[in-house]
Amino acid sequence: MSYIKKSPWLVHYDGSSCNGCDIEVLACLTPLYDVERFGIVNTGNPKHADIFLVTGGVNNQNLPVVRQIYEQIPDPKVVIAVGACACTGGVFHDCYNMIGGMDKAIPVDVYVPGCAARPEAIIDGVVKGLAVLEEKQKALAVPVRDSRALRESELEPGVAINQSQEAGK
């Protein structure tokens, strides 16, 4: 039984977004959509978070910020890119200062398209992210119990996951 799916806390960061997606993210907290009924809490603190919800593309100014927030979130964690800009750079992709979508800076797990992304789409993205989160936790559970598996997985990626599946059988 994994509790991480029942209590996902998220930290929201606005990269270089026009604020359109941010307002839709906040709309998810309103009485109409009320994401708290799924146990989702918008914490402002990366150290408490499980999900990194990021809007806007990445540029040279916010690159270190995005990476730092990502590194501060304890494992297991999931990154959800919300909106066209976070997915690909969107309308800003040709700008001289833009690097591109959020996946140019950190590994993104779920892409939520839209300009701006609708609250329904954002909630759907978070729910998809929960499945990824659970998978990551299962993969993480192996090396903690068995340090030998950790060393092997460093040599050969995927060994640890295979072992956990065998142990499950």
Partner 1 sequence: MSEMVINIISGIAYLILAPVMGGLLAGIDRKISARMQRRVGPPVLQPFYDVFKLLEKQTVAVNETQSFYIFGFLLFVILSGLFFFAGGDMLLVIFTLTLASVCFIVAAFSSNSPYSQIGAERELVQTMSYEPMLLLVAMGFYLHCGTFSIEGILQSSRMNFIYMPGIFIGLSYILLIKFRKSPFDLSASHEAHQELIQGILTEYSGRTLAMIEVAHWYENVFLLGFVYLFFAWSAPWSPVLGLLMCALAYFGDIVVDNCCSRVKWEHMLASTWLVTLVAGFANIVFLMYVK
Residue 2 per-residue DSSP state = -
Look at strands 78-82 and 58-59 and give their pairing. Answer: unpaired
Applying CB under 8 A, which part among 3-11, 78-86, 92-100, 101-109 lies near partner 1?
Answer: 3-11
SS3 79: strand
Could you give the CA distance from residue 102 to residue 162 in angstroms, rounded to a whole number? 30
Residues contacting residue 76 through CB under 8 Å, at least 6 positions apart: 4, 50, 133, 136, 137, 140
User: Which CB atom, from 79 or from 84, has the smaller least distance to partner 1?
Assistant: 79
Among 23, 26, 68, 75, binds partner 1 (CB under 8 A): 75
Among 7, 19, 68, 97, binds partner 1 (CB under 8 A): 7
Could you give the CA distance from residue 67 to residue 24 in angstroms, rounded to a whole number? 24
Among 23, 26, 43, 115, binds partner 1 (CB under 8 A): 43
The torsion angle over the Cα atoms of residues 25, 26, 27 and 30, rounded to 10 degrees, is: 140
Per rule CB under 8 A, is residue 67 in the interface with partner 1? Answer: no
Applying CB under 8 A, which part among 30-38, 55-63, 86-94, 145-153 lies near partner 1?
Answer: 30-38
Could you give the CA distance from residue 21 to residue 92 in angstroms, rounded to a whole number? 15
Per rule CB under 8 A, is residue 22 in the interface with partner 1? Answer: no
Per rule CB under 8 A, is residue 169 in the interface with partner 1? Answer: no
User: Which CB atom, from 89 or from 143, has the smaller least distance to partner 1?
Assistant: 143
In the complex, the residues that contact partner 1 under the rule CB under 8 A are: 2-4, 6-7, 9, 31, 34, 36-39, 41-45, 47-48, 50, 72, 74-76, 137, 140
